Structure 1
Amino acid sequence: MLGYYFQLALHSFRRSPGLTALMVLIMGVGVAASMTTYAVFRAVSGDPLPDKSAQLFVPQIDNLGPQNGSTRNHLPDALTYRDAMALMRARVGKRQTAIYPVVDNVVPQDGAHRAFTANGYAAYADFFPMFEARFAYGGSWNDSDDQQRANVIIIGSQLNQKLFSGANSVGRMLDLNGHDYRIVGVIDDWNPQPRFYDVNNGSGFADTPDFYLPFTRAVDLHMDTNGNNSCSGSSKPMAPGWDGWLQSECVWVSLWVELPDAAAVQRYSEFLSGYAAQQQSSGRFHWVSHVGLFDLTDWLDHEGVVPPEAKVSLLVAAGFLLVCLVNTIGLLLAKIMRRAGEIGVRRALGASRGAIYRQFIAEAVMVGVAGGVLGLALTAAGVLSTDLLFEPEIARLAHTNVSLIGLTLLVSIFATVVAAIYPAWRAARVQPSWQLKSQ
């Protein structure tokens, strides 16, 4: 019986190809617009570590007080060096790492390349197992390397390709601005998007980092942060020199902790509140210091990682798809009214209202499939052109993959069937006696 309905639909399409083509075009364009913007929205709003995001947390401490109105919820986006080190030494979490972005000059030893600038991060050994970094060669340094401020380094696959033609470079030396580092690992093509551990520095969608070195080593070498460094809210004068900056109220260090269960989260929250209260009682703060503990997904929301234009574009595209549905409903109604006589004959010959209803739903499914195929082609073209609306580092994240293809087809079919519900109901309500008399 289903095949019979599809035969009737094909016959109807041949009788009114122009109207059918118009419906397919409307659905294809509407679906393509919504799927293209959804591809971008999905890319920038996805969970970068779905299996661990509920276990990774960012602690925050209000060290600037009520006079600083520029922060979100009275909480700076980073910690001071002294606070970050105090929390690191406490080791209340299962794992923890302090992080800050750095930049330095790579001096190739082969003489074939000139020195060039590379971007990286200073971090602790826990960074790599916490964030599930994938290694092509070697692995992470260890805790003793952190304590000894060892001259070890992990490089990214792109830097490894540039310097060593992609070969296993573990054990070789890398010159960063006159300081030699022993390569202990090569990160595979790993760059979670958004780059959750550095969104507070505006690097959520940046290119793959070139290297990682121990936090303690970077501080020992007085490597300045390549990220945000906010001292504006502090009322205390900063002592001169590097040590003065480290002991100041400037916020520039990110801290992440891994808390495997609810009990660990509760324990860390109590510890964080106690630490802030201790700083207040010691005279450092003259206010009740707020604290925060955000898990990964809450942190991305807190930092507003999803660009406003992505949200606006998605809403506009959804509205456009709704307009396309309304137009499709109107076209289906017009088509049904033109076929009222045919429907009356079928009803007079014994076709039930359910049969008429299923006939037009089957016809809508075929329009949806055709609109979906057209929508796929337009979506693929739209994904390739997203840089016309979005920043290049965001536009390049959108891809046409199997899930997007399947979703595009499903949305097209579902939307067309929804649009056909009322016209099909109207078709099923046609009175055969009235139609036969009018003929």
Structure 2
Amino acid sequence: MVTQGVSLLTYYFDLALRSCRRSKALTALVVLLMGCGVATCMVTFAVFRATAADPIPWKSNQLFVPQIDSFGPAHNYKGEPPGMLSYTDAVALSHARQARRQVLIYASKWTVLPGDAQHLPSSQEGDAVSHDFFAMFDAPFRYGGGWSAGDDDQRAAVVVISSTLNQQLFGGADSVGREINLDTHAYRIVGVLDDWNPSPRYFDVASAWYPFSHPRQLYLPFSRAIDLQKAAAGNFYCSTNTVDPDLPNWDSVLRSNCAWIAAWVELPTRADVARYRDWLHNYAAEQQRLGRFAWPPNVRLSDVGQWLQLMNVVPKASALSMIVSLSFLLICLVNVVGLMLARFMRRAPEIGVRRALGASRGSIYLQFLTEAAAIGLAGGVLGLLLTALGMAGIGHVFAPEIARLAMLNASLLLLTVALAVATTLIAALYPTWRAAQVQPAWQLKSNG
């Protein structure tokens, strides 16, 4: 039975090849339309997939961003709390220890002063973070590890550096225990990260200017940066009911309700999430009772997916190009339907003869759908070539940070061919149905 089925498909495939040779122009036009439509769709899909993918799928439903409205209903955006916290709220969250892990983050810039004359001073972007950062976000280490809770409490002069910076300063060797000079202060290296660049940089998307930019090179204790009065190098929001952004001194910054610190908590279970949400609401209510807030509690707790959606992380150009490419593919499909209809109906006499000789409508369906699949496969091969060409020039359309994320991998190649075959089969359904409705008697009479 299996051998008979294979032989039948081989026979129909041979008929498809003969038909393609007889209608070379129509076949080439269908292949070209499908190749262009599928390639356009795949190039934009590669970008959209890279920017919209879950950056930490194994635990994204356990990581949450707490938000507390420190601006009030008259000053926030459409009733939404700011995406970051004030120093007062951030420290209260950290000290409360209501989650399995809690992390505070704010962006900073540091001047690296080399210990020899061979290297020039350089400005490096860093994040001031609490010690749970590396465990919460599963940051991989090449050498060493993160610092301890005790280092946070003691405002220790310790640092974790990137593999890139380690290569620049130490030639890639194990530099754990060595010192680097940052802003004229000596810091002991406790860890060197492996190649790690989550895209988007979801944990820093609120405090950083652009979530797809290059990774941070330095990570230092949050408490140390605060003690050194290190200014934030990222977003810093102050509403009109707080104080002016140009705050007179560091103590004013810390006392203000300005939002500039990103916060994350790790909550493994639904019960933990519900309990933490209640705590967040009760904390805001307490601040209202103390007179710090003059409005009812307004809090949010968003997981990674909800947070990226809230922050509109997916570039508008990526989403728009995806819609345009799908529209272009639909236009190609409509044209392919017309071409397939013309191609199949030209063979009405052939269909009539086959039906008169005993071929069933099912056989006609199988013959013409096999032919459509063969054409779709050819369109998929052309689509692969055009997709590769499009991926090579994607940097001319999208920002370099976005273009580097789009990868031409095996899954994209298989999807390109599968989409070409599937869409061609869909386009062939109506023409095939029309072909199967041909009445043998009418065709034999008209030919007679």
TM-score bracket relative to the smaller structure: over 0.9
Residue identity in the other structure for 1:171: G
Give the match for residue 121 of structure 1: 127
The alignment status of 1:61 with 2:68, answered yes or no, reads yes
Question: Is the 2:31–2:378 contact (alpha carbons within 8 Å) kept by the matching residues of 1?
Answer: yes
Give the match for residue 226 of structure 1: 233
Residue identity in the other structure for 2:212: F
Q: Secondary structure at the match of 2:445?
A: helix
Give the match for residue 414 of structure 1: 422
Residue identity in the other structure for 2:133: F
How does the TM-score come out when normalised to structure 1? 0.97
Give the match for residue 384 of structure 1: 392
- Residue 356 of structure 1: how far off its partner (Å): 0.9
The alignment status of 1:162 with 2:141, answered yes or no, reads no
How far apart are the structure 1 equivalents of 2:366 and 2:300? 56
Give the match for residue 217 of structure 1: 224
Q: Deviations over 1:238-293 (max 9, x none)?
A: 97311111111111000000000011011111111111011110011111131111
Q: Deviations over 1:120-156 (max 9, x none)?
A: 1000110001001011111111111111111111011
The alignment status of 1:184 with 2:190, answered yes or no, reads yes
Question: Match for 2:205 among 199, 202, 206?
Answer: 199
Q: How many residues align?
A: 438
How far apart are the structure 1 equivalents of 2:53 and 2:113? 37
The alignment status of 1:146 with 2:148, answered yes or no, reads no
How far apart are the structure 1 equivalents of 2:384 and 2:310? 34
Residue identity in the other structure for 2:311: E
Q: Secondary structure at the match of 1:54?
A: coil
Residue identity in the other structure for 1:154: V
Deviates further, 231-240 or 144-153: 231-240
How far apart are the structure 2 equivalents of 1:187 and 1:276? 37
Question: Is the 2:281–2:299 contact (alpha carbons within 8 Å) kept by the matching residues of 1?
Answer: yes
Q: Deviations over 1:81-117 (max 9, x none)?
A: 0110011000000000100011111112132110011
Q: Secondary structure at the match of 2:259?
A: coil
Q: Secondary structure at the match of 2:61?
A: helix
Question: Match for 1:44 among 28, 39, 51?
Answer: 51
Give the match for residue 349 of structure 1: 357
Give unmatched runs, 5+ long, in structure 1.
Answer: none
How does the TM-score come out when normalised to structure 2? 0.95
Q: Deviations over 1:322-357 (max 9, x none)?
A: 111111111111111221111111112221111111
Q: Deviations over 1:283-310 (max 9, x none)?
A: 1111113111111110000011111121
Question: Match for 2:89 among 83, 88, 91?
Answer: 83
Distance 1:261 1:153, change over 3 A: same
The alignment status of 1:134 with 2:140, answered yes or no, reads yes
Give the match for residue 97 of structure 1: 103
How far apart are the structure 1 equivalents of 2:167 and 2:347? 67
Give unmatched runs, 5+ long, in structure 2.
Answer: 1-7
Residue identity in the other structure for 1:38: F
The alignment status of 1:8 with 2:15, answered yes or no, reads yes
How far apart are the structure 1 equivalents of 2:189 and 2:78? 39
- Residue 428 of structure 1: how far off its partner (Å): 1.0
How far apart are the structure 2 equivalents of 1:208 and 1:402? 26
Deviates further, 2-11 or 71-80: 71-80
- Residue 164 of structure 1: how far off its partner (Å): 1.3
Residue identity in the other structure for 1:88: S
Q: Secondary structure at the match of 1:312?
A: helix
Question: Is the 2:104–2:263 contact (alpha carbons within 8 Å) kept by the matching residues of 1?
Answer: yes
Deviates further, 371-380 or 234-243: 234-243
> Aligned residues: percent identity?
54
How far apart are the structure 2 equivalents of 1:375 and 1:109? 54
Question: Is the 1:65–1:74 contact (alpha carbons within 8 Å) kept by the matching residues of 2?
Answer: no
Question: Match for 1:20 among 18, 27, 31?
Answer: 27
Question: Match for 1:375 among 383, 395, 404?
Answer: 383
